[in-house]
């Protein structure tokens, strides 16, 4: 009995060891999936700041799309899309590793599936040999499927809309003209369409690059009116269906891809030429104070005060005469609305500074007001006290709160994730500043991470803001590409709303962009000081088409993806016929290497 029990125990241990080895070895059984991981990670690293090789975004996804078209089954395309998504997320947020530690790998592994619909759409619509109808559908369905992860990530709990593909074009105001029409979503759509066009072009010239490894030299394409991609045996069997006359010849396909690429690439410049900027109703000067990396909060406040004092009549910058002075996020550790002696003393100092400089000061406090939780406030101070406040609404996941803390709270023991959740505000609203001439200056004030959310700046524009102001502090990520990526978002928000955007950083990058997204100022991470910019402001009632129409591009993409998924499911279930026309109709056989017809029957 004892020997039998021992043998059973040993057998169970061996089984567990075998299962563990299988689990550990599984990722290495599919090296192509690792290529899909790299096909996302490398472009993400290159197209966004720091490298900012933004021109690559127009074609950098072609290698990944080739991997998707070469998948032999839909299941394999889903897996490759998942790995692609994991690579995208991990590369996008590498600089968050000190905050969330191994949670970054967990995030990529769990949420990478969001790119699987994109991979499936590419496989089904972009293989060589599909009909004109499928090619036309690809230009609508594939970009729509790409918008799915961008839409889902726009939810704050999933990290927010960081590094959307369209945001890579922040350096190109002519391309950003599309953002004034359809937001950053439309820029993403244009870029994905360009990649689709190149796949069409290259698939016509070198079809073997986009087909699974063939076991013979030919691939059969059925010739019936309603084509179905991926039915039958790929490589030596069916890769698509459609009437022989409807299947585009390689030259026609190549020309179509080239024409489509040129048209998409020219859409931004065309929009820029056809849409004039809003007429300027006034000009204002905005001074932004960046004290730099100072770990002691009291010393940091002192540094901001010292730099601000230089704007007074006797200071080094006395001739600047700004209309508004903006400090960075968390520039004050005290409660300017509080009643404690230290709070009242600091408020009195800021009131005196405002009087000396002849301009109101937009500060930012990071504190726990009496009877409230930990909050971050933008505080507008004039010579007579606090004129208005705004409480940060969209908090940084893991940095300022942990989503699903009950399940993920363990991350605090192995990383620098937030030990407690901050309290969010109730939403965006205007602050009514006054310029040095006494005229009202309605400003939309948002804090740090909120620059990633296009809906917040659009709300501010709708409320009548003439200027969008961000306050930022990225000391945790100083020296990484994170602060540069964050600052670049100001250009996108400017183009979307048709308003100048400034960002004052305690640490990180202090920047300013005009109403079309053109860079005016960039004070980098390693710098400190005061920078002043002269801005032309539109009328408070001016609105871009995107301001008025909202996220219609994103929601259209979601609807198109849902319809495409239903059509695919209906065909798999037999509700929609995969073929139509005369049973046993003609078929054509194409060479897998050249895409040229071999024979028809």
Q: What are phi and psi of 236, to 5 degrees?
A: -105, -5
Predicted local distance difference test score (pLDDT) of residue 106? 84
Inter-CA distances, 45 with 81, 99, 199, 469, Å? 18, 19, 22, 28
Predicted local distance difference test score (pLDDT) of residue 307? 84
Rounded mean pLDDT, 130-152:
93
pLDDT band at 596 (very low <50, low <70, confident <90, very high): low
Rounded mean pLDDT, 405-418:
70
pLDDT above 50: residue 336: yes
Express each pLDDT in 468-491 by its tens digit.
999 998 877 888 888 999 999 999
Judge whether 362 and 324 are in contact, CB under 8 Å: yes
3-class DSSP assignment, residue 240: strand
Rounded mean pLDDT, 232-238:
39
pLDDT above 80: residue 529: yes
Joined together, the tokens standing for residue 33 give 């999936």
Predicted local distance difference test score (pLDDT) of residue 4? 60
Domain 282-393+428-541 belongs in CATH node 3.40.50.970:
no
Ramachandran area for residue 55 (φ above 0: left; ψ -120 to 50: alpha; else beta): alpha
3-class DSSP assignment, residue 287: strand
pLDDT above 60: residue 235: no
Predicted local distance difference test score (pLDDT) of residue 342? 86
pLDDT band at 230 (very low <50, low <70, confident <90, very high): very low
Predicted local distance difference test score (pLDDT) of residue 242? 40
Rounded mean pLDDT, 340-347:
88
Query: What are the DSSP calls for 456-490, one per residue?
Result: HHHHHHHTT-SEEEEEE--GGGTTSSHHHHHHHHH
Predicted local distance difference test score (pLDDT) of residue 247? 64
Residue with tokens 């230290």: 342
The domain locations on the chain are: 30-275+555-594, 282-393+428-541
Predicted local distance difference test score (pLDDT) of residue 601? 47
Q: pTM for the full model?
A: 0.85
Predicted local distance difference test score (pLDDT) of residue 202? 95
Closest CA to 561 of 148, 189, 111, 136: 148
DSSP state for residue 395 in the 8-state scheme: P
The C-alpha atoms of residue 80 and residue 115 are separated, in whole angstroms, by: 9
pLDDT above 50: residue 301: yes
User: Half-sphere exposure of 420 toward its Cβ, with a 13 Å CA cutoff?
Assistant: 6
pLDDT above 90: residue 373: no
pLDDT above 60: residue 243: no
Joined together, the tokens standing for residue 545 give 């088409």
Is the model more confident about 558 or about 319? Answer: 558
3-class DSSP assignment, residue 429: coil
CB count within 10 Å of CB 541 equals 9
pLDDT band at 387 (very low <50, low <70, confident <90, very high): very high
Is the model more confident about 137 or about 315? Answer: 137
Predicted local distance difference test score (pLDDT) of residue 381? 94
Rounded mean pLDDT, 523-550:
94
Express each pLDDT in 547-577 by its tens digit.
999 999 999 999 999 999 999 888 887 776 5
Judge whether 253 and 207 are in contact, CB under 8 Å: no
pLDDT above 70: residue 5: no
Is the model more confident about 597 or about 277? Answer: 277
The C-alpha atoms of residue 185 and residue 554 are separated, in whole angstroms, by: 6
Predicted local distance difference test score (pLDDT) of residue 229? 38
Helix 132-153 / helix 179-205 crossing angle, nearest 10 deg? 130
Closest CA to 323 of 407, 436, 428: 436
Joined together, the tokens standing for residue 470 give 């961000």
Predicted local distance difference test score (pLDDT) of residue 226? 36
Rounded mean pLDDT, 424-435:
91
pLDDT above 60: residue 578: no
- Characterize the bridge pairing of strands 501-505 and 510-513: antiparallel
């Amino acid at each position: 009995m004892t020997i039998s029990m021992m043998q059973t125990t040993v057998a169970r241990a061996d089984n567990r060891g075998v299962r563990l080895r299988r689990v550990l070895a599984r990722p290495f059984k599919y090296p192509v999936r690792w290529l899909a991981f790299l096909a996302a990670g490398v472009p993400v690293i290159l197209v966004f700041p720091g490298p900012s090789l933004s021109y690559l975004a127009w074609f950098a996804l072609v290698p990944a799309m080739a991997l998707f078209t070469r998948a032999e089954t839909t299941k394999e395309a889903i897996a490759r899309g998942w790995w692609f998504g994991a690579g995208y997320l991990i590369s996008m947020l590498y600089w968050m590793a000190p905050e969330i530690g191994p949670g970054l790998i967990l995030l990529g592994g769990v949420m990478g599936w969001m790119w699987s619909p994109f991979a499936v759409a590419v496989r089904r619509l972009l293989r060589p040999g599909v009909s004109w109808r499928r090619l036309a559908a690809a230009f609508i369905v594939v970009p729509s499927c790409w918008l799915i992860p961008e839409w889902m990530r726009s939810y704050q709990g999933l990290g927010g809309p960081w590094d959307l593909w369209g945001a890579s074009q922040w350096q190109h105001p002519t391309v950003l003209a599309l953002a004034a029409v359809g937001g950053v979503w439309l820029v993403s759509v244009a870029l994905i369409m360009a990649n689709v066009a190149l796949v069409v072009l290259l698939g016509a010239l070198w079809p073997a690059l986009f087909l699974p490894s063939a076991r013979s030299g030919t691939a059969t394409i059925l010739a019936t009116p309603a084509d179905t991609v991926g039915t039958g045996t790929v490589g030596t069997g069916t890769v698509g269906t459609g009437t022989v006359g409807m299947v585009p010849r390689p030259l026609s396909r190549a020309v179509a891809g080239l024409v489509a690429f040129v048209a998409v690439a020219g859409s931004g410049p065309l929009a820029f030429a056809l849409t004039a900027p809003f007429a300027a109703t006034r000009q204002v000067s905005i001074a932004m104070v960046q004290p730099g990396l100072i770990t002691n909060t009291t010393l940091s406040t002192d540094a901001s005060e010292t730099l601000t004092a230089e704007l007074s009549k006797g200071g080094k910058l006395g001739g600047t005469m700004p209309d508004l002075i903006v400090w960075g996020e968390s520039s004050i550790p005290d409660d300017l609305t509080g009643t404690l002696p230290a709070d009242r003393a600091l408020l009195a100092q800021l009131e005196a500074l405002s009087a000396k400089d002849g301009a109101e000061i937009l500060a930012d406090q990071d504190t726990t007001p009496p009877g409230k939780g930990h909050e971050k406030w933008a505080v507008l101070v004039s010579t007579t006290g606090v004129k208005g406040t705004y409480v940060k609404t969209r908090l940084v996941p893991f940095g300022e709160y942990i989503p699903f803390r009950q399940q993920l709270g363990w991350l605090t023991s192995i990383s620098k994730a937030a030990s407690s959740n901050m309290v969010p505000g109730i939403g965006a609203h205007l602050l009514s500043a006054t310029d040095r001439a006494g005229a009202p200056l309605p400003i939309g004030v948002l804090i740090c991470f909120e620059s990633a959310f296009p809906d917040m700046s659009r709300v501010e524009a709708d409320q009548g803001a003439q200027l969008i102001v961000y306050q930022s502090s990225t000391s945790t990520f100083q020296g990484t590409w994170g602060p540069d990526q964050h600052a670049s978002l100001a250009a996108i928000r400017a183009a979307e709303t048709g308003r100048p955007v400034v960002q004052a950083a305690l640490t990180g990058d202090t920047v300013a962009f005009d109403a079309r997204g053109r860079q005016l100022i960039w004070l980098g991470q390693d710098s400190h000081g005061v920078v002043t910019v002269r801005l032309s402001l539109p009328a408070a009632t001016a609105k871009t088409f995107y301001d008025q129409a909202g996220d219609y591009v994103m929601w259209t993409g979601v609807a198109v993806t849902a319809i495409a998924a239903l059509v695919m499911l209906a065909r798999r279930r037999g509700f929609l016929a995969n073929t139509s026309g005369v049973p046993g109709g003609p078929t054509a056989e194409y060479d897998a290497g050249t895409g040229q017809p071999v024979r028809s029957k």
